[in-house]
Amino acid sequence: MNKKFILQNMGVAFLAQGVSMALSVLQTLIVPKLLGVEQYGYWQLYIFYVSYVGFFHLGLSSGVYLTTGGQARDKMDKDSIKSQMIFGVTYQTIMALVIILLSTYMQEGFERIFVVVMTAIYLVLQNLATFMMNELQCMNETKKSSFSTIIERFAFLVPLLILLVLNIDVFYPYVFAYTASTIVQLAYCAWHMRDFWSAKWLGFKITARLGWSSIRIGFPMMLANVMSMLILGIGRFFIDAQWGIETFGRLSLALSLVSFFLAFVNQASMVLFPSLRQASHEEVRGFYQAARDAMGLLFPAVYALYFPMVRLLALWLPDYASTFLFLIFLLPICVFDSKFNITGVTYFNVLRRERIMLAVNIVSACASLALTIAAVYVIDSVFAVIAVMTIVIVTRGMWTELYMNRLLGVSVSSIGVAELALTAEFVVAAYFLPALPAFFLYLFSYAVFLLAFRGDLSRTINRLKA
């Protein structure tokens, strides 16, 4: 395994995702400034729905990704991949048309019907773009894959600034602009995959057989991803149903800030997969241990950012000041879900344990559903719903780490226990103490934490450099 090559690819991916995250944060700060709380709620409902469109490829994209990961461009079966892309677009278009027809009967209010219809259109466009992005990633063409995300963000930012100048305060134009930005991303990916598009069509019979084979391979991974998203999504569904679109929009603003960090870290998982697929067991084992310890030591620094970030956000968006209290309970999701993506999802896929990952996520989603129902109808508290999300994510991350330790024969690290204690301290201090004392108390605790594990930090850095 070429660690230098992996780190170079990760550097490119992180740089690209960092730019993308900065643009996304900018967009997130502009849109609620322009829209009222209700209109912003519908905008967030659209963003929420489109986050689940990956379910509708049924695992086709994931299956091709798993079977072609690590192959060079000249080794790819371009005829097969092109045919499967067309196959996927065909059945997803049929699904989208069914969704559009059903939306007029199942949704009340023009705003919600509009959201569902535009989600159905986005479904076909984004899943095709994602398919091509995955294939670029499989071929270790990280720059192209990562740059497509930046292009998509810029393509949305330009009309967003125009809407800002015109002071448009309804959410419909923003949805159209978002869809247009996906078309730009799709065109960029298609251009860099043009040698695939010029390949031969294999005919429906052969293509259907290949597509079904890819779906069987990729369905567990796809379903695991959807179940993982539902851990947070179930709570959001119930909040919309129980407390209305305005409360949903407020929570979604806080969750958007968390999701940008998760998307940023998730790029590492995408980069690692093709390289680790070609590595020896010892290399896979060593990289896991180094990554686990590095994240355990460095990711808790995110909690310290809460205090200055909330201060600035409250100045910019005073109408949402109370919303940022949600971030106290949501930031642990950044830490533990990021670790799960890198040392959990990546290694489940590399070691072909997709069904174990699926089982873990199904159990987690079911636990989230049961506890959310109790939080909504027994406790009747939005904060209780958010606490459920966090507890389930943290528990899943801890169990997965213990499972991977045992599977790879790696000793259990005491860093994880100390990291959990730091998380609990942050939540208690940020919620009960004034901002300044809580900030300095956490900084002191984190400094003590790093000092206590300075030997582990030094060894981990040396392992990653080796």
pTM for the full predicted model = 0.78
Residues of the chain with pLDDT under 50: none
Query: Which pLDDT score, from 0 to 100, does residue 176 have?
Result: 95
**Whether 83 contacts 204, CB under 8 Å:** no
Q: What is the pLDDT of residue 366?
A: 94
**CA distance linking residue 8 with residue 15, whole number of Å:** 11
DSSP structure class, residue 201: -
Q: Which of 305, 257, 328 is nearest to 443 (CA)?
A: 305
Comparing CA positions, the residue from 107, 100, 43 lying closest to residue 245 is 43
Q: Give me the pLDDT at residue 6, please.
A: 58
CA distances 313 to 145, 248, 265, 308, 319, Å, are: 31, 18, 22, 9, 10
Among 409, 420, 396, CA closest to 289:
409
pLDDT at position 271 is 65
Q: What is the pLDDT of residues 378-434, one digit of tens each?
A: 998 888 998 999 999 999 999 999 998 888 888 888 888 899 999 999 999 998 989
Residue owning tokens 């909040």:
239
Structure tokens of 18? 């960092």
Q: How far apart are the first and last CA of the chain?
A: 11
Query: What pLDDT shows up at residue 268?
Result: 63
**Predicted confidence (pLDDT) per residue in 133-191, tens digit:** 888 887 777 778 878 888 888 898 889 889 888 888 899 999 999 999 999 999 999 99
Tokens 């998730």 sit at which residue?
266
Q: What angle do CA 13, 15, 17 make, to 5 degrees?
A: 65
